[in-house]
Structure 1
Amino acid sequence: MGGIKTSIARKVAMALSGLFLVLFLAQHFTINFTSVVSPDTFNEISQFMGTNFLVQAVLQPILIFGVIFHFVMGFVLEIKNNSARSVSYAKYNGGANSPWVSRNMLLTGIVVLAFLGLHFYDFWVHEMQVKYIQGDMSGLNEAGEFRYYEETVAKFAGQPVRVAIYVFSFVLLMLHLLHGFASSFQTMGVNNKYSKGIKVFTKAFAIVIPMGFVFIAIFHYLNNL
């Protein structure tokens, strides 16, 4: 990251990494939503993703790097922006000129990052232990059935605090995306006849996908009371 010297280059790198993570978010939601409509499909997709060499050895490390890169660049941009402000700028009333979300992207990002830590602990760390420490690549439970659906449900069933954390985190992710997703296209210089449509799409995505994750968590909680 030391080679990203200019402000424009840093912003473009931030935008590209953000767009990459948005693609992952859409894919992750699509898979998780199948746990609501078809447990068998969810199990089959999870088994494929969990045992496919390309996913595990190539895409997964790229994803982890993308997450780290995006949030590190966020901190770098915030530090650079703060250091570039003049003394008179300290008197600037940001709230009167820009929405709360745009002025608190770092804050929402930090909370989302903390949530990702919990999410990785819940699922990714567990998978690594089962596959590479216990050496079980079968994806089966003691009854000889795929374990992914029941393990996912177990994270929410009878876990109101965990569900509340998920809801809170995805609401902040929604706020983060409402500003960040559209801004990524602006940073990339997209300013043409499709700009209005892109803006509508990014706003819809920023609301629908995070709220979809909220629905999944609440569904599994309520469905197992």
Structure 2
Amino acid sequence: MGGLLKSSIAKKFAMALSGLFLVLFLLQHFSINFLSVISASVFNDVSHFMGTYWLVQGLLQPVLIFGVIFHFVMGFYLEYKNRQARQVKYASYKGNTNSSWMSRNMIYTGLVVLAFLGLHFYDFWFPEMIHKYIESHPEDASRYYGELVAKFESPVRTGLYVLSFVFLALHLYHGFSSSFQSVGWNDKYARGLRGFTKAYAIIIPLGFIFIALFHYINNL
């Protein structure tokens, strides 16, 4: 068992599971953010619930933060080990003959996504923690929509969000599909599953881009 846990297969399996967990969170996060396009009051109600319910704040949020850190640390570690183990490089570049562009550049798209998460934490998570736990402001269930919209007043910040979601799509396009292969899901439904993961990798980031542009245009 100890040898299994130390093996590259076990590490890739753990990496895949953390990725699938983050994909589920991404869908949940998109669903809540999309409410801001439909109804400010509904978005405020759901955001207030997520921001104050003890189970979300005390359990799910720490698990999410751990999942993000684990996924990126493990990704960088596996990339480092793969480069160490690679004895012979390609004699010449042959496009997608050996692998797709997305698979060869997962580390770089991941770095952009990580930088975006830093921006996102700076814009939303850190101010939320300061608001609730440092400045100890009273609860205001109507503040969430205004705080979200204010972040998309700047064309530069909106552009950074849009660019980040493009890189997220590139990262997901290979990563989501390969996660299922890493956990051993390669049966007769694999082709349909690959189609679903490719669609997800395009639709969800496009949805986030739509939200950002929607609020930016409304701010003009």
TM-score (norm 2): 0.95
Structure 1 residue 92 displacement after superposition: 5.8
Structure 1 residue 139 displacement after superposition: 2.3
Task: List per-residue Cα deviations over 1:94-151 (Å, max 9, x = no partner).
Answer: 63422211100000000100000000110000000000011125125xxxxx100011
Structure 1 residue 180 displacement after superposition: 0.2
1:116 corresponds in structure 2 to: 117
1:153 corresponds in structure 2 to: 149
Aligned counterpart in structure 1 of residue 192 of structure 2, from 189, 192, 197: 197
- Asked if 1:76 corresponds to 2:77, the answer is yes
- Asked if 1:177 corresponds to 2:172, the answer is yes
Give percent identity, aligned residues only: 64
Aligned residues: 216
**Contact (CA 8 Å) 1:94, 1:103: kept in 2 or not?**
no
CA RMSD in angstroms comes to: 1.3
> Runs of 5+ in structure 1 lacking a partner?
141-145
**Contact (CA 8 Å) 1:166, 1:214: kept in 2 or not?**
yes
Aligned counterpart in structure 1 of residue 219 of structure 2, from 209, 214, 224: 224
Query: What amino acid does structure 2 have at the position aligned with 1:103?
Result: R
Task: List per-residue Cα deviations over 1:10-43 (Å, max 9, x = no partner).
Answer: 1101100000000000000000000001111100
Task: List per-residue Cα deviations over 1:193-218 (Å, max 9, x = no partner).
Answer: 21122111101110000110000000
2:206 corresponds in structure 1 to: 211
TM-score (norm 1): 0.93
> Runs of 5+ in structure 2 lacking a partner?
none
**1:49-128 equivalence runs, <5 A:** 49-86=50-87, 88-89=88-89, 91=91, 93=93, 95=95, 96-128=97-129
Distance in 2 of aligned mates of 1:45 and 1:65: 23
